[in-house]
Each structure stands twice: as structure tokens, then as C-alpha cells.
Structure 1
Amino acid sequence: MTVKLAIAGSSGRMGRMLIEASQQTPGVELVAALDRPDSVWLGRDAGDFAGVNTGVAISADVDAAFALADCLIDFTRPEATLLHLEAARRAGKAMVIGTTGFKPEEKQQIAAFAEHIPVVFSANMATGVNAVFKLLEVAAQILNSGYDVEVYEAHHRFKVDAPSGTALRMGEVVAKGLGRDLAECAVYGREGVTGERKPETIGFATVRGGDIVGDHTVTFAALGERVEISHKAGSRMPYASGSMRAALFLQGKRNGLFDMQDVLGLK
């Protein structure tokens, strides 16, 4: 059975990659492409960015998109994603959410929507990153005493939230494995005379520059040794390909909140 797919933010860097991936994924049919109402790309073919003709014109009408599509993939901004979720609920359709930067109360809204429609919501859609999440879970259980934990992430100059959703999720995974609450032990950047590092903290360092797609490293540092678990993305295609897997995973589901660990069978 083919999944009829709509893609939000289709003129953006990730949107363009999602459109390209949709043309390469068996079992997926692109039927709608969305962009902002003020976009200069409205009415253009969604494949113009990649030099292909998809036969799908870019539109700003989300309700019309859901009339055609089974599932919407959204990597936009929190406020737009929440509006798209409202439309998905009205239509009784599925969503794959790769948007980051949600506040805790907004995540609760997503969970509430998922009581009515099926949703995959993940900090990172790449298969490799989700393998790293699993490795971090194991590492935290083993390296649970005498190791300082630091999370480093780097992204392109255009990214608007920090730390990245992926870095935060890595911190959450490690904190859970160590029996800690990330909200209580996270340290976001250091400056001045900070004093000695408190052993229960998990530190975050953020870099923004150029066209870095996404680098993430978690370091477990002890006296005399250091363990590092890293993922480096060379393009956005791993995120797009994982999103296609998520859309296919939602076929036949009536409701529920899932993440890529569910999609990949890692739970």
C-alpha cells in the first residue's frame, strides 16, 4: 500500500531534501507540498529545486493538502507545526514531526494530539543517530561512576535553536541511564570563574557556523581515559530517509505518539 505524502516547508533546506527523498522511496507518493503564504515559490512545482517534475504544485492550503495526503512530514517551526497538527486532527491524518525547539508545554500539546491521530515525533530522524541514542543508553549504564559527561554539537549558521534537539535528547538519554533529571543537572555553556566542575552535571557546548549539517559527540571523561560516542552528518539525506521510514511505519495506525526508536524497533 502506498503512503500519500505531504511535505511542509517545501522551499526550505530540509523540505527540499524531503521532496528529493520522496521521489526515491518505494511505497511513497508525493501528493502535496506546503510553504508559507508569503512564499515566492507558491504555484511552482515542488521538484523545481532538484530539477525534476513531480506534478505537485507548492501551496499554502494545509487543509487541501490533508484532503489528498495520508501523512504530513513537518520540519518547520514549533508554531507552524502546532497549526499543522490541528489540521491533521481535523482531517484524521498522520504526522511525522522533525521540528525542534518545542517548549515543554508544546510537547504536551503534541502528546494530546497523538491521542487522536498517529504521530512520530523525534529529535532526530536519522537511523545512525538513533543507533547512537541506543549506544548512549548502554554506555551510561556502564560508565555510571567517576565519569564526567559533556555533550558537544555543531550546526550551520542558519539554525535558530540551541542546543539542538538531538543534543538535548542525547543528554536526556544519558541522564536517565545515570538516574538523574536533565532539567536539574544540565549546564548550558560556561564563562568566567566557574569553580570546579560538579560531578553530577551534564555539560553542553554549542557551535554555529558555515554549512555544518550536524555534528554531535557525547564524551564520558574520567581520570586517565575518555570515551566518545559521535555522529557526523554529511548531508540532510539521512534525516529525510528516516522520515520516509517513519511515514511508512504509521500506515494503518489510528493514533499514538511514537519516536524513531519505535520505527526502528529499538525499544
Structure 2
Amino acid sequence: MLKIAVVGASGRMGQSILRLAKSMGNVAVVGALVRPGSPAEDKEVPDWPHICYTSDRGAGLAEAEVVLDFAAASDEIGLVRHCVDYGLPLLVGTTGLEASTRQVLEQAAKKIPVLIAPNTSKGVNILLELVHRAAAALDEDYDIEILEAHHGRKNDAPSGTALRLGEEAAEARHKRLDAVSVHHRKGQTGPRRGGDIGFSVVRGGDIAGEHTVYLAGPGERLELTHRASSRDTFAHGALDAARWLAGRRAGLYEMRDVLGF
């Protein structure tokens, strides 16, 4: 029985993980952390009535064997330091991480296992591999555009998954994403610059997550798409990743490691 603590437990992903963990039988929730002042604080967790939502990091993580973090990126550094101090494996599903936070995670990975997964869906991580291969095989005559769509309450744009897809495409062509990414087009933009990777964003309704990578070349277009119909797919992936992470040696991991490719 793997004991997990969920950070950001009152959010959409946190709620999905708490609910699915109950049905799996081999995972026990021992902590459910929320931000200070959250309406959920001190209330019992549905499906886990012996657990209350708490903002007390020490109490919430005291019995955990693996920590799953889906909280706001601004809360990250203190959590990472706590996990390092207590030797807790950490899965980071938070998106919109600053470069400085990423550096803190990389340093932490020298002491504890850290898995950074902007998207825990197994299908999305297969998509990352396919995009890398396609971008490497098709030269810059094939323009790359990335379209992502999410629910209206999502805070960051483009999504962490969209950016990761862009990184895969750029790396496959031996480029840095920040040198070729285009996030804004309006007015007289002029012709498209060869090698650019464009991003478009849709926000609305309850869209769980959709990502399409277009490789548009002479006389043809390749479209690689993943659509999530339920947030449960991300929760399943996160719980599988947590089980994989338990007992690993210190290091920086990603979902590809979990999936074995």
C-alpha cells in the first residue's frame, strides 16, 4: 500500500486523484494539502473521512511516502525544500514553472527522486515522442504550429504540455524553443519566418485538454492530436507515476521514464 500526499488537493486534478486513489485499493491518501485560507481547510476529504484538508505542510506530509504536487507554481520552492529535508520523492504536475523554480527542482533531484510531468497522460507522452520523430524527419519546409485548448479556469497559457511539445519539435531540429517560438500574431505580420514554431490558445467551457501539432509542408499537412475527454486520464497517469517513483534513487525523471522509452 503506497502512502501518498496530494498538494493542491482541492483543485481539479487533486480531486480526481483523491477519488481515483480510493477505488484503486493499493494507494492510501495520508495527506491533502491546500493553500492557507482555502475554503476546504480543516474539512474532511470526501472518500477519505479520516483525513482533513490542511495547510500545515509538516502535518500533511508527515506519513507520506510520495508527494504529488498539483498546486500553484508560486508554492513550489518551499515544498521542494521540505521534500529534500525529509527525503520524500516528489512528482511535480504543476505547469507554468519559472526557470528559477526549475533550477531548484534540478538541484533537489541530486538528493531525492523528482519527476516533472506537465502532463501525466500516457497518451500525451506518446505524442511527445511522435512529435520529436516527425520534426526530425521533416525538414523546415514543414512549418510547425501548435494549438491547445483547455477549460476557462486554467491560469497559464500556453499550457505546459504545449510548451513541452514545442521543446520536442525544436530539439529535434537542433534549435532552442525560445529562439523560434511565436506566441502573438496581429496585424501586418509579414511572411512566416522559416523554422518558427507558432502557438495558439483556446480557453473555454470544461475542455479537459486538447493538443494538436501541425506540420504543414508542400502539398500536405501532418496533424498529430491528443484529446482528453476526462481529467481522470491525468489522475490515472499520476498515480501510476507515483508508484513508479517510490523507492527510486535520487534523480530527475519524466513520464518517458515511467513508460519505459
**Count of matched residue pairs:** 261
Tell me, in whole angstroms, the C-alpha distance in 1 between the residues paired with 2:7 and 2:260. Answer: 26
Aligned-residue RMSD, C-alpha? 1.2
Who is 1:144 aligned against? 139
Q: Note if 1:246 corresponds to 2:245.
A: no
Who is 1:221 aligned against? 216
Tell me, in whole angstroms, the C-alpha distance in 2 between the residues paired with 1:122 and 1:102. Answer: 11
Q: Note if 1:125 corresponds to 2:125.
A: no
Contact persistence 1:217–1:229 (CA under 8 A): yes
Tell me, in whole angstroms, the C-alpha distance in 1 between the residues paired with 2:57 and 2:95. Answer: 20
| Aligned pair partner of 2:156 in 155, 161, 164 | 161
Tell me, in whole angstroms, the C-alpha distance in 2 between the residues paired with 1:194 and 1:37. Answer: 45
Structure 2 residue identity aligned to 1:210: G
User: What TM-score do the two structures reach when normalised by structure 1?
Assistant: 0.94
Contact persistence 1:10–1:46 (CA under 8 A): no
Who is 1:260 aligned against? 255
For 1:9-59, what per-residue CA distance to the aligned partner results, in whole angstroms no more than 9, with x for missing partners? 111111101101211234311111111120122222212xxxx34421111
User: What TM-score do the two structures reach when normalised by structure 2?
Assistant: 0.96
Q: Note if 1:185 corresponds to 2:180.
A: yes
For 1:86-142, what per-residue CA distance to the aligned partner results, in whole angstroms no more than 9, with x for missing partners? 111121111111001112121111111111111111121100100101111111122
| Aligned partner of residue 169 in structure 2, secondary structure | helix
Tell me, in whole angstroms, the C-alpha distance in 2 between the residues paired with 1:32 and 1:148. Answer: 46
Who is 2:8 aligned against? 9
Who is 2:70 aligned against? 75
Q: Mind listing any 5+ residue stretches in structure 1 that lack a counterpart?
A: none
Tell me, in whole angstroms, the C-alpha distance in 2 between the residues paired with 1:6 and 1:103. Answer: 23
Tell me, in whole angstroms, the C-alpha distance in 2 between the residues paired with 1:76 and 1:183. Answer: 25
Tell me, in whole angstroms, the C-alpha distance in 2 between the residues paired with 1:202 and 1:211. Answer: 27
Contact persistence 1:66–1:91 (CA under 8 A): no
Tell me, in whole angstroms, the C-alpha distance in 2 between the residues paired with 1:104 and 1:55. Answer: 38
- Choose 80-89 or 21-30, whichever is displaced more: 21-30
Tell me, in whole angstroms, the C-alpha distance in 1 between the residues paired with 2:12 and 2:61. Answer: 22
Tell me, in whole angstroms, the C-alpha distance in 2 between the residues paired with 1:70 and 1:183. Answer: 37
Structure 2 residue identity aligned to 1:102: L
Identical positions, percent: 39
Contact persistence 2:8–2:72 (CA under 8 A): no
Question: In the TM superposition, what are the counterparts of 1:194-213 in structure 2 within 5 Å?
Answer: 194-213=189-208
Structure 1 residue identity aligned to 2:18: I
Structure 2 residue identity aligned to 1:15: G
Tell me, in whole angstroms, the C-alpha distance in 2 between the residues paired with 1:202 and 1:156. Answer: 23
Who is 1:99 aligned against? 94
CA drift of 1:224 comes to: 1.0
